Chain A
Amino acid sequence: MRIALGAAAAVAYAVLLLAPLAVIVYSVSPGAALEIPPSGVSLRWYAGLADQPRLISGLFTSLLLGTIATGAALVTGIPAALALTRGSLPGREAFLAVLLSPLSLPGLVLGLGVLTSAAVLANATGIRTAGTLLPLVAAHLLITIPWVVRSVAASLESTDPALEDQARSLGAGPFATLFLVTLPTARAGIVAGAVSAFVISFGNFALSLLLASGRTVTLPVAIYETVDRYQDPTVAAVSTLTIAAAVGAAVLTDRISGPLKARDSSSRSGQPAGPAAAEPNR
């Protein structure tokens, strides 16, 4: 029984590893054509990235966009998580559902909606946002807030509010309590939320496709446009860099906040924070 389960798991993990491995192997191939078995290993396609302005500009656009979206998602998401966990609000579940709802919207449809809104805004007020980063920032903010809210709220729920009451009774003001007690105890959730938010924004494709143009083309959109037209290991090289970053992010969150092992002990209540909490549609 256990052997059969292990075999099934091995097959599944192999399926999950196949595509990223193919990208990595192709990125170090000596020639533009894929060879089986490979005749050698070369890093020339990584050096060749310098001659691919679209990919380089896409990389910087995505880094900038991810940073702005993550910052804005933290600024809006942490207060929301505080309100949901400490606010004794009526209809708490409904608010949470509204904040998480963008996760289940089809990305391309949402992108079309945002594009339409930008056109309506330009017609009505003359404020043109086409070609700027603004529609992309707004759209990415929408889909990163849920990750911050979920992760920070889970972290706040697992800490004891009595700690804050004690701080208050010892004479700390509300802001001192917030910044010296509440937020530090939720640090793991905040870090995990920030990493998830950045990773989600950095890798997003469907939502960005209709909104990205010219200088605002993001890296996933640039990769899409390039692989759609011709075979080129430079695309594999830049893709490998993003794969390394993704694995790095997973290990980092595991180290800092331990969300990946949070389910290890069945006795621990509450949801684990971070990317591992990718429990759909909660």
Chain B
Amino acid sequence: MDRSRRRVAGLLLLPALLVVAVVAAVPIGLLFRVALYPPGPVAPLSGGPELDSFAGLLSAPYPSVALRTLRLSLLTTLLVTFLGFPVALFLSRSRGLSRRIQTLLIVSPLLMSVVVRAYGWMLVLGRQGFVGETLAALSLPRVGLLHTEAAVLLALTESFLPFMILALAASLDRIDPDLLAAARGLGASSARTFFAVVVPLTLPGFVAGASFVLVGSLSAYAVPALLGGSAARTFVMEIYELVTISFDWPTAAAASIVLLLFASALLGGAALLSRRRSARTFGT
């Protein structure tokens, strides 16, 4: 009975697993193979296998672009954490209609296309946009923030804020109210309770949220392309131009592999961190 049940379960899983194999595993494997061809706009691909296309990533402009991308991602993570934490606290303390409306406000942006939201930021930040026109209407000098790193940072923060709020709020909701009552009963001030009990208990949510925001902002394309343009080129923008403008598929594939490995290392590290933490907390 149990064996046949397992066999049925295996059969039910098969189609979904096949999709992951054919549409994710095989393509990524092929990218590995393409990255081993000699770099350059050559078709059909031949020669190799060699690591020249990976070596090419060590020369300009890639290191500085990678650094800028990393800096933007770290700053985005920092900003969504500091902006998201009070919101998550406020949300977790709200009940009823207020909570439903807030959740709607947080979730709705996630359902809109990232292109539409980036377009909205273009309209807000452009010289002829809302900020520029408002300044002009007040007879102040027009300032356009479009095509700056600051614009990219602002829009990235907006696009990842909902994820961080939801991740932190999930952690906050799991806190047992008795724990807080116990801390208070043992004489801790409300500030001490907050920093010694509440904040440490949100770490799992923070780790999950922060790793997602880091990887997501490293991989973002629409926001940096539309709001930064040539003023804030990111690693993924380079990959896109390697494919569509230079036709250098081996280098594009090598850059993709580097990004994938880096993202996997980040996510793996975060998973390890949260597992070790929970092991320590629960003594297993």
Contact = CB atoms under 8 A, between A and B. Distances in A.
Q: Which 7 A-B pairs have the closest CB atoms?
A: A87-B9, A113-B27, A19-B120, A280-B212, A106-B219, A203-B113, A8-B86
Contacts of B83: 8, 11-12, 15
Contact of B123 (A8, A22, A250): A22
B174 to A, nearest CB: 8
25 contacts: A5-B86, A8-B90, A12-B83, A15-B158, A16-B109, A23-B123, A35-B133, A36-B136, A76-B16, A84-B13, A106-B236, A109-B219, A112-B253, A113-B28, A113-B256, A116-B31, A120-B30, A142-B19, A203-B114, A203-B116, A239-B116, A242-B116, A264-B95, A279-B208, A280-B167
Interface residues of B, number: 108
Contacts of B54: none
Interface stretch (B56-64, B97-105, B179-187): B97-105
Contact of A23 (B27, B120, B244): B120
Interface SS majority for chain A: helix
Interface stretch (A43-51, A125-133, A204-212): A204-212
Interface of B: 2, 5-6, 8-10, 12-13, 15-17, 19-20, 22-24, 26-28, 30-31, 34, 44, 83-84, 86-87, 89-91, 93, 95-96, 99-100, 102-124, 128-130, 133-134, 136-137, 155, 157-158, 161-163, 165-167, 169-170, 173-174, 177, 208-209, 211-213, 215-216, 218-222, 225-226, 236, 239-240, 243-244, 249, 252-253, 256, 259-260, 263, 267, 270-271
A41 interface: no
A266 B180 CA distance: 15
Given A9-B86, A203-B114, A227 B100 contact: no
Nearest to A19: B120
B218 to A, nearest CB: 7
Given A5-B90, A108-B240, A34 B100 contact: no
A89 B10 contact: yes
Interface residues of A, number: 103
Most buried by A among B23, B34, B118, B213: B23
A279 B167 contact: yes
B162 A16 contact: yes
Interface SS majority for chain B: helix
A109 B9 contact: no
Interface of A: 2, 4-6, 8-9, 11-13, 15-23, 25-26, 33-37, 75-77, 79-80, 82-84, 86-90, 95, 98-99, 101-102, 104-110, 112-117, 120, 123, 138-139, 141-142, 145, 149, 199, 202-206, 209-210, 219-221, 223-224, 227-228, 231, 235-236, 239, 242-243, 246-247, 249-251, 254, 260-261, 263-264, 266, 275-276, 278-282
Contacts of B166: 276, 278-279
Contact of B30 (A36, A116, A202): A116
A275 B219 CA distance: 21
A82 B12 contact: yes
B106 to A, nearest CB: 7
Contact of A87 (B5, B133, B215): B5
A89 B158 contact: no
Contacts of B174: 266
B154 to A, nearest CB: 8
Given A95-B13, A281-B211, 4 more contacts: A15-B157, A87-B12, A89-B10, A278-B163
